[in-house]
Structure 1
């Protein structure tokens, strides 16, 4: 990262559920940011921006937000607009496949398709952020790109092309508050006294808070109380995770999206301030999975607890990603799905999850969207949003 102007200029790409919620949090934070929302549908963006401004004004803020027409599929035009705006931070909230789309299917159909896990939709998450990163490079922009589109895998695949965003948001970060609350409860401490270092892939970060278990997925968790490491023998992770999914269970789904939006906002604050704050996030430095990250004036650093090496942390995430349907992300960016997930996709929607390189993501995304839409029509749903 490089030095930026006194008032950080943040470009939010997308004004949908996540982008809109992040805009709300930023406007209500009282921080001094110059905010721009980039979107294809300007009228829709205007309505969402004005909603955010109304809400902020009710809370005593009087923010200004600019709106910029932006179509990520047009790399040259995007590069021109980035060169003109010169953002310090770009938050990408755009994807061709929001995670909640398949939840709109009939219950049994959703459960069946969900068994393939989140990784099978990677091509649709990869397309827009890949084009964004090409535009960033074309514009020779020093902006720090924060990616919300399946960063656990997408960032690592794009790293092979030199197109990795700096970091992601959500996922592992969403599990951190519940773990801290549960640990505080078990240790009879105030939550403010509890800190953690948590390493895990997307699968575990959403599965454990819902079920109280890991299904055998690997992870690493170090807990601190008042700055001192809590010995592993003093806190049983099985009980800890059961409390996360029990006493400290939260609203899930779209109604619980504020947790992801607040984790994104925390990351954006950390990137803007560059004060050495530690935040959890996926995909830093083009790595697979999620890590605790120190955001310093000179860049990002994975914050490792005593006794854990970076190679060990990466290995944990590589093994954990298989539970999300990802067999591997190769050095050349090729993404390989597990056979179990591939079989479900073949049998349910007729889609073949064969390995693909980053440059093939658009072709694969188009086919995947078509297969999903066809499946929805067979179920009597003609208006399933797949892009």
Structure 2
């Protein structure tokens, strides 16, 4: 029988590659995937003094070149577009060997995470009820291709992932392919809490704000509604002593759960990207998937490394148990040591009337096949 949830999750907490010292004239950053999130990151990074050159990569050459020209006009740094198809590992290897970026920001996915929420048909509703993990085949394959290319080329630069890092990163960690860290999710929850503290005149508490959170809790936080039933809520810790004030996660006004919400993972992720590029910068924040761990954690970004910054009294085993319980609301029952994902009974029940194959155990190598099944289920070309 295949084992699952090995103790390797704990050992990954201290494992994160150190990046090469930043060049005196700035760094070269590669953004792979130019959908809404990738575009927002490009504009956010344009003209930053830490960055010598932005390299924008996607397979849509016409749109990519226009975007590069616009981003270049918005800052004073160099911006180039290069065509690369993330579905073709050989193209990614060639891209990394040629560009040798100082940081890679992965923003590519096979389907937009906003596709299903934007539909009102019964099939989409069932997929939403089953949990976002059923859309894993749209998030994992391209990131897997990138991380294999990173390994093949020996690239030592950090890789920051925006594709469901709470789940894709621990799967890849079991294959020895973990990205450095993710953005969004826990970082977005922390940003929401920080805004609440500022509005209440409690800015002085933000430097010691620590948030333990999971992707499954993001929409409840955005809607300012606690998760239903006994599903875990984000944990909010304040002060050096780690005083709990979890209600702050739901104290802000409701936000629109639409594509414009992409502004939040970018705004909360930009400081982490810049801290990874500057070995003299120290940043305390919360980020998902550090060193292949499940869910999101308080972290310290310093000296080109990402390490856990858990509050006093919170042991790593307790944090990992919180993440495993939280993942059930995304439809994840467990992850085997070989990366196979097993779905919850609730997820299976939601899709049983439509296509139960979508919730069969999913091996990482079978995700392209499952993606084809998912596209057929959604009646996409």
Specify the TM-score bucket, using the shorter chain as the normaliser: 0.7 to 0.9
Partner of 1:88: 102
Aligned: 1:337 with 2:349: no
- Seen in structure 2, the aligned counterparts of structure 1 residues 44 and 344 have a Cα distance that, compared at 3 Å, is same
Distance 1:212 1:191, change over 3 A: farther
The DSSP-based 3-state class of the residue aligned with 1:104 is: coil
Counterpart position of 2:271: 266
The answer for the alignment partner of 1:205 in structure 2 is 218
The CA deviation at 1:5 is 3.5
1:33–1:359 distance in 2 versus 1, CA, 3 Å: same
Contact 1:134 1:163 in 2 (8 A): yes
Q: Say what the alpha-carbon RMSD is for the aligned residues.
A: 2.2
CA deviations over 1:34-75 (Å, ceiling 9, x no partner): 210111111111122233334x2xxxx323201111112221
- 1:262 is paired with a residue whose SS is helix
**2:177 aligned to 132, 156, 163, which one?**
163
What residue number does 2:205 align with? 193
Q: Structure 2 CA distance, aligned partners of 1:126 and 1:282?
A: 15
Q: What's 2:369 paired with?
A: 363
Greater shift, 27-36 or 95-104, is seen at 27-36
Per the TM alignment, residue 180 of structure 1 is displaced from its structure 2 partner at its CA by 2.2
Distance between the aligned counterparts of 2:367 and 2:95, measured in 1? Answer: 25
Segments of structure 2 that go 5 or more residues without pairing to the other structure are 1-17
Deviation at 1:352, TM superposition (A): 3.2
Deviations 1:172-198 (A, max 9, x none): 11111221233455xx53335324211
Counterpart residue number, 1:377 = none
Number of corresponding residues: 359
Counterpart of 1:290 in structure 2 is 296
Find the aligned partners of 1:94 and 1:219 in 2 and give their Cα distance. 28
The reply to whether residue 4 of structure 1 matches residue 32 of structure 2 is: no
Distance 1:39 1:220, change over 3 A: closer
Quote the Cα distance in structure 2 between the aligned partners of 1:23 and 1:119.
Answer: 28
Q: Deviations over 1:210-240 (max 9, x none)?
A: 142032322563433xx544744xx5x44x3
The answer to whether the aligner puts 1:255 opposite 2:260 as a matched pair is yes
C-alpha contact (below 8 Å) 2:272/2:283 kept by paired residues:
no
Structure 1 ranges of 4+ moved more than 6 A: none
Aligned with 1:87: secondary structure? coil
Q: Displacement of 1:266 after TM fit?
A: 2.2
2: distance between equivalents of 1:108 and 1:368? 14
The answer to whether structure 1 residue 106 and structure 2 residue 131 are counterparts is: no
Shift of the 231–157 alpha-carbon distance from structure 1 to 2, 3 Å rule, reads: closer
Change (3 A) 1:104 1:242: closer
Tell me, in whole angstroms, the C-alpha distance in 1 between the residues paired with 2:63 and 2:225: 39
Deviation by residue 1:294-328 (Cα, 9 ceiling, x = unmatched): 12225221111000111111111011100111111
TM-score (norm. length: structure 2): 0.87
SS of the counterpart of 1:100? Answer: coil
Where does residue 38 of structure 1 map in the other structure? 57
Q: Secondary structure of 1:257's match?
A: helix
Whether 2:142 is the aligned partner of 1:125: answer no
1:140, distance to aligned residue in structure 2 (A): 1.1
Of 147-156 and 33-42, the range deviating more from structure 2: 33-42
TM-score (norm 1): 0.86
User: Residue 242 of structure 1: CA displacement?
Assistant: 4.0
Question: Among residues 148, 155, 162, which one is paired with 1:148 in the alignment?
Answer: 162
Match of 1:319 in 2: 325
Change in Cα spacing, 1:3 to 1:242, as seen in structure 2 (3 Å) is closer
- The answer (yes or no) to whether the contact 1:349–1:372 under 8 Å persists in 2 is no
Contact kept? 2:189, 2:249, Cα under 8 Å? no
Q: Secondary structure at the match of 1:165?
A: coil
Contact 1:222 1:305 in 2 (8 A): no
